[in-house]
Amino acid sequence: MTPTIKMVFSLGLAVFVAACGRPSNVSKDADHSIANATMESMLDAKPDNPVHTIVMPHDEPPFPPGPGRDEFVAACVVCHSPRYITMQPRFSHATWLSEVKKMKAVYGAHISDEEVLKITDYLVSINGKADSGQAPKGTYGE
Amino acid sequence: MNRRGFLQLIGATGAAALAASCNRVSSAVGTLSSSTNLIRFPEKTEMILLTDRPPQLETPIHYFRQDLTPNEAFFVRWHLEGIPTSVDLRTFRVNVSGHLRQPLQLSVDELRSQFEPISVIAVNQCSGNSRSFFEPRVPGGQWKHGAVGNAKWTGVSVKSILDRAQVKSGAVDVSFNGLDVPPLPSVSDFVKALSINHARDGEVMIAYAMNDQSLPMVNGFPLRLVVPGWYGTYWVKALNDITVLPKAFSNFWTDNAYRIPSGPNGTESPKDLAKDTVPINRFNVRSIFVRPDPDETLHPGMPNEIEGIAFDSGHGIKRVEVSTDGGDTWTDARLDSEIGKYSWRRWRASWTPRDRGQYRLMARATNAIGETQSQGQWNRSGFMWNVIQQVDVKVG
């Protein structure tokens, strides 16, 4: 696939994300009922239907406010659920830093070196180890 | 819209999704953790949620009391956010191309009708199954012991397809790609490869059925590569491209990811990381308790049934020993009959503890060539866990 098509595909998924789920503080009730109607019709496929379609559920944990949260939300959840953070044990600053650097260097996350540090500090603040020199200031609301 | 605009829009919808929550059930399943999060995906039962996007879902251990893992409970692990959610069988084709004389485009119907079907019962296990037990902890999917399953796979051998495609001499590797796509152009597409000899061994197959049913979408509908005895990373899902190469395949997912230290059992020291690494390949020997439940209280003065599964990469499990005293003494478990060399094999033991108290149960499997489980193990990626399992139980 060409990069452009991949991005459209990705955007489509992101829209699915937004359309799915219970009413929330960002999706209006009207949107929600449309999403449910779509889901029902898509799941109503007959066994001999050659088109097989599913609608993915999403269950993304809320993240607490704090310095670096905006950068985290903008740069990280484009490609993956924040559960990639919350399922990890509390890691040291060094471990989180190497993970964020990997996202930039290996996977091409669109973040500056300054944002790498901001995001790392945020991850340490919500899921860091006390012995990493920065005591965890909160939890991620599991 | 330019690329930055796209990204901003995706970021905005992603942020909106933070508050959304579907089908979430928080409950204690009584298997491994009291805070286990369960989720129900389409065509799946309630599974242990690791991540929802892309999905990584773990099988609750009690399903392993069945020899074949139900499709709806089979573990799920994708790498890239863009996983397929709709497949039209009228237009879907698996493309066979590259270093061969007769390129092919095959529909699922053609695979079913034009090739001889074969079946195999085989374990599929994630490379990182049990990663959460490594100490020191390592980043990655924090699986407990449920990123594994055993199923009857039905489809056609890759050999029969390559024979029809007439591979040219000098072929080296065969790469396998699926419908999943990276979320950014900078992320490598998930493509894996096998050597031409391995791909043509007659056992590597393209499965269109799993336990005699279509595959669930999140398990790779409509076609999935089956590589008996090898880790799940090679079992490419939603397979739609097979390319024969006259040279060694190379990409991020083989050159940088899914590599293990070249030494025995993929082990290295956190203080002295191995210099030489190789691509992960065959399963090592391991065993998993399926009974009793960790929360179960056993009874003194009467037989208590203990049960587990054991498997390796195809040599066959020949012995499983059980200890009920923390490893001081061991007795042989009874083995159920073999149901396939790539299947797991069930073992059982009956234990009559005399006194109330805390006990540590252990199980140690050995295969036909004398390989057994490790006492201690670590590697930076958290792969190939096969340390002898310890289960602490209460008799009361």
Q: Is A52 on the interface with B (CB under 8 A)?
A: yes
Strand pairing category for B389-395 and B297-298: parallel
| B366: enclosing H helix or E strand | strand B357-367
Q: Please tell me which residue of chain B has the smallest CA distance to A13.
A: B82
Share the mean pLDDT of chain B: 92
Together in a domain, B302 and B238: no
Residue-level pLDDT at B2 = 40
Together in a domain, B202 and B302: no
Query: In A, which residues are within 8 Å of B3 by CB distance?
Result: 7
Domain ranges across chain A: 3-43, 69-132
- Measure the N-to-C terminal CA separation of chain A; round to a whole number of Å: 37
Residue with more model confidence, B70 or A33 = B70
Given a cut of 90, whether residue A139 has pLDDT beyond it is no
Together in a domain, B248 and B319: no
How confident is the model over B271-300, as pLDDT tens digits? 999 999 999 999 999 999 999 987 899 999
Query: In B, which residues are within 8 Å of A31 by CB distance?
Result: none
Together in a domain, B196 and B309: no
How confident is the model over A2-49, as pLDDT tens digits? 333 333 333 333 333 333 333 332 232 333 333 333 343 344 444 568
Kindly determine whether residue B21 and residue A60, on different chains, have CB atoms separated by under 8 Å: yes
Interface test with A, best of B6, B9, B52 (most A CBs within 10 A): B52
Tell me the shortest Cα–Cα distance from B294 to chain A, in angstroms. Answer: 22
> Is B181 within the bounds of a domain?
yes
Kindly determine whether residue B6 and residue A7, on different chains, have CB atoms separated by under 8 Å: yes
Contacts with B116 (C-beta within 8 Å, 6 or more apart), sequence order: B156, B160
Query: In A, which residues are within 8 Å of B14 by CB distance?
Result: 14, 17, 73, 77-78
Q: Determine the average pLDDT of the residues in A126-139.
A: 59
A15, A54, A108 member nearest B42 (Cβ): A54
B13, B52, B83 member nearest A14 (Cβ): B13
Domain containing residue B331: CATH number: 2.60.40.650
Residue A133 banded pLDDT, cuts 50, 70, 90: very low
Together in a domain, B151 and B112: yes
Together in a domain, B213 and B319: no
Residue B311, both tokens: 């498997």
User: Of B91, B371, B330, B331, which is closest to residue B229 (Cα–Cα)?
Assistant: B371
Per DSSP, B337 falls in state P
Per DSSP, B188 falls in state P
Kindly determine whether residue B132 and residue A106, on different chains, have CB atoms separated by under 8 Å: no
Residue with more model confidence, A5 or B262 = B262
Together in a domain, B102 and B248: yes
Q: Whole domain around residue B186: which residue ranges? A: 94-257
Together in a domain, B234 and B125: yes
Q: ∠ CA(B95), CA(B281), CA(B291), 5° rounding?
A: 110
Together in a domain, B252 and B342: no
Kindly determine whether residue B51 and residue A51, on different chains, have CB atoms separated by under 8 Å: no
Q: Left, alpha or beta for A93 (phi > 0: left; psi -120 to 50: alpha)?
A: alpha
How confident is the model over B219-245, as pLDDT tens digits? 999 999 999 999 999 999 999 999 999
> Is B242 within the bounds of a domain?
yes
Residue-level pLDDT at A17 = 36
A18, A25, A84 member nearest B17 (Cβ): A18
Residue B7 banded pLDDT, cuts 50, 70, 90: very low
- Angle between helix B3-17 and helix A3-19 axes, rounded to 10 deg: 20
Given a cut of 90, whether residue A50 has pLDDT beyond it is yes
Together in a domain, B99 and B248: yes
How far is it, in rounded angstroms, from Cα B191 to Cα B175? 7
Which one of 1.10.12.10, 1.20.1250.20, 3.40.1080.10, 1.10.760.10 gives the CATH number of domain A69-132? Answer: 1.10.760.10
Contacts with A101 (C-beta within 8 Å, 6 or more apart), sequence order: A116
Residue A62 banded pLDDT, cuts 50, 70, 90: confident
Q: ∠ CA(B348), CA(B351), CA(B354), 5° rounding?
A: 175
Together in a domain, B103 and B146: yes
A81, A95, A108 member nearest B51 (Cβ): A81
Global pTM value: 0.85
Residue-level pLDDT at A61 = 86
Q: Are A105 and A112 in contact (CB under 8 A)?
A: no
Given a cut of 90, whether residue B122 has pLDDT beyond it is yes
Together in a domain, B248 and B290: no
| A102: enclosing H helix or E strand | helix A93-105
Domain containing residue B147: CATH number: 3.90.420.10
Given a cut of 80, whether residue B59 has pLDDT beyond it is yes
User: Of A57, A30, A31, which is closest to residue A42 (Cα–Cα)?
Assistant: A57
How many folded domains does chain B comprise? 2
